[in-house]
């Protein structure tokens, strides 16, 4: 029996820019395919309108997606999970419709968030198959406890089922409501696409393998191009590939880029790349397909720290990848995590000296590593006594190498940024933020960080 389902993106974070809720849009498309009537609401677009949306639509079920637990900033941390709890309690006063939570943030802390939010159910992991199954069971009043990834209450407390990765056939083109697409095009200049799921790398802090699995599952390049073609039809002139690492396979990158070129899609785009396994030929192909911005997950410019972080590449790899991007006239930036395992004052200074070799780039250092349960960093923090056993990690906890102090790290970063303007420490300076805003109003597309060091 078809139902009316309201899906709500809880995320309100607009720094550095708002990001289209792609995961929720994929789930919405799966529900539409199952025959349901679906509407999407977005707190980033208009949080105040959510209550009216609930009243006007009168849904049979409400799904809420939490993408991020917090903003990963060790200073003035914004705890985004609070937004979920506040919203679910408000919705409870408006409707008796079952509330179902999902999203990558929820998947990291499913029991805690189900309990604190007061929602009826949760879906841990991918929901394109599980959510339609749950709703079908509830509609027919049959047992739903076998749904993969289901988080629910019974007499023993909160129960969490094992997750199951979706079949390729379950992942269809995401729903793209025109008014929502126009909001993101206007506010951030871009929409996004995912060309694969899963991450096989072993970065010590990363939650991607926990959320998406360690087996990389590429989408068919033609399906990726279909999605990009629809993004172009919506009026966007830029898209971002949100894969944890786009270049997990040169063959996949080649196939996607060749399909983009074959169709003449002619959009600019950006992606996350690993600074390893790249060639000038592959970089040039990406540039021909429209690549204009690379965000390298470099994490450190010190080899000893990279080894401790589990990165399995060296600074020479970082340098070589940067030079390939520069030769192809592609903007590139490096994102760093300072103060993690193995970091010392000496390695910080080594990293800064190495950064001088990188030309026409910007560096975004983040202090401390956010600890998530189940990661190698979690186990290390326990073994070192940095993390107390049983500590609740839903409130943000950051690992800093015991050999360092947080304020010393910030002091050194301040020293680096004074010597090199392409070290962007903390919030973007007000004058730079104004420049970025003005560029967006002028129609310049992309993340725009290439202007920050000018």
Domain range summary for the chain, segments of one domain joined by +: 4-160, 189-451
pLDDT of 452 higher than 90: no
pLDDT value, residue 169? 78
Q: Could you tell me which of 300, 304, 299, 282 has the C-alpha nearest to residue 291?
A: 282
- Residues 100-117: tens digit of each pLDDT: 999 999 999 999 999 999
Q: For residue 175, what pLDDT band results from cuts at 50, 70 and 90?
A: very high
pLDDT value, residue 140? 94
Percent pLDDT > 70 in the chain is 99
pLDDT of 427 higher than 80: no
- Residues 304-331: tens digit of each pLDDT: 999 999 999 999 999 999 999 999 999 9
What gap in Å lies between CA 353 and CA 283, rounded to an integer? 26
Same fold, 4-160 and 189-451: no
Q: For residue 80, what pLDDT band results from cuts at 50, 70 and 90?
A: very high
Query: What superfamily does domain 189-451 belong to in CATH?
Result: tm_1862 like domain (3.80.30.20)
pLDDT of 44 higher than 90: yes
Return the structure tokens found at 264: 């003449």
Q: For residue 454, what pLDDT band results from cuts at 50, 70 and 90?
A: low
Strands (E), 48-149: 61-65, 99-102, 121-123
CA distances from 73 to 78, 152, 244, 319, 436 (A): 8, 31, 20, 27, 21
- pTM to 2 decimal places: 0.96
Q: For residue 55, what pLDDT band results from cuts at 50, 70 and 90?
A: very high
Q: Are 303 and 339 in contact (CB under 8 A)?
A: no
Q: For residue 1, what pLDDT band results from cuts at 50, 70 and 90?
A: confident
Write down the mean pLDDT value for the chain.
95
Architecture of domain 4-160: 3-Layer(aba) Sandwich (3.40)
pLDDT value, residue 373? 97
Residue count of the chain, please give it: 454
Q: For residue 14, what pLDDT band results from cuts at 50, 70 and 90?
A: confident
């Amino acid at each position: 029996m078809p139902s009316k389902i309201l899906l709500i993106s809880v995320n309100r974070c607009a720094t550095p820019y708002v990001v289209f809720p792609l995961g929720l849009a994929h789930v919405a498309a799966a529900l539409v395919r199952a025959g349901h009537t679906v509407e999407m609401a977005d707190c980033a677009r208009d949080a105040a309108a959510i209550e009216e949306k609930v009243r006007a639509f009168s849904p049979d079920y409400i799904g809420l997606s939490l993408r991020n637990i917090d903003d990963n900033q060790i200073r003035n941390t914004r705890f985004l999970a609070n937004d979920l709890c506040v919203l679910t309690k408000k919705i409870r006063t408006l409707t008796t419709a079952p509330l179902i939570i999902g999203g990558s943030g929820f998947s990291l802390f499913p029991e805690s968030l189900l309990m604190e939010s007061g929602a009826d159910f949760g879906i841990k992991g991918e929901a394109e198959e599980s959510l339609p199954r749950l709703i079908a069971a509830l509609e027919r009043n049959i047992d739903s406890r076998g749904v993969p990834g289901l988080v629910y209450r019974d007499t023993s407390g909160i129960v969490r089922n094992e997750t199951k990765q979706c079949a390729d056939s379950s992942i269809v083109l995401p729903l793209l409501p025109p008014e929502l697409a126009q909001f993101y095009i206007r506010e951030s200049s871009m929409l996004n696409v995912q060309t694969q799921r899963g991450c096989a790398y072993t970065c010590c802090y990363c939650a991607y393998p926990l959320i998406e699995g360690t087996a990389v599952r590429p989408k068919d390049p033609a399906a990726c191009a279909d999605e990009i073609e629809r993004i172009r039809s919506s009026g966007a002139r830029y898209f971002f590939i949100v894969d944890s690492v786009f270049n997990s396979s040169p063959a996949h990158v080649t196939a996607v880029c060749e399909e983009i070129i074959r169709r003449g899609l002619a959009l600019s785009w950006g992606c996350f790349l690993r600074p390893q396994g790249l060639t000038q030929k592959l970089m040039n192909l990406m540039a021909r397909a429209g690549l204009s911005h690379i965000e390298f997950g470099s994490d450190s410019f010190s080899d000893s720290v990279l080894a401790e972080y589990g990165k399995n590449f060296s600074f020479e790899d970082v340098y070589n990848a940067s030079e390939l991007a520069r030769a192809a006239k592609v903007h590139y930036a490096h994102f760093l995590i300072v103060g993690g395992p193995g970091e010392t004052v000496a390695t910080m200074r080594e990293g800064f000296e190495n950064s001088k070799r990188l030309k026409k780039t910007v560096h975004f250092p983040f202090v401390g590593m956010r600890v998530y349960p189940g990661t190698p960093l979690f186990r290390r923090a326990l073994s070192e006594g940095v993390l107390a056993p049983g500590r609740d990690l839903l409130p943000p906890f950051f690992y800093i190498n015991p050999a360092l102090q947080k304020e010393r790290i910030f002091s050194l970063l301040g020293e680096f940024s004074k010597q090199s303007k392409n070290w962007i420490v903390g919030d973007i300076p007000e004058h730079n933020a104004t420049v970025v805003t003005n560029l967006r109003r002028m129609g310049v597309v992309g993340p725009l960080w290439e202007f920050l060091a000018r």
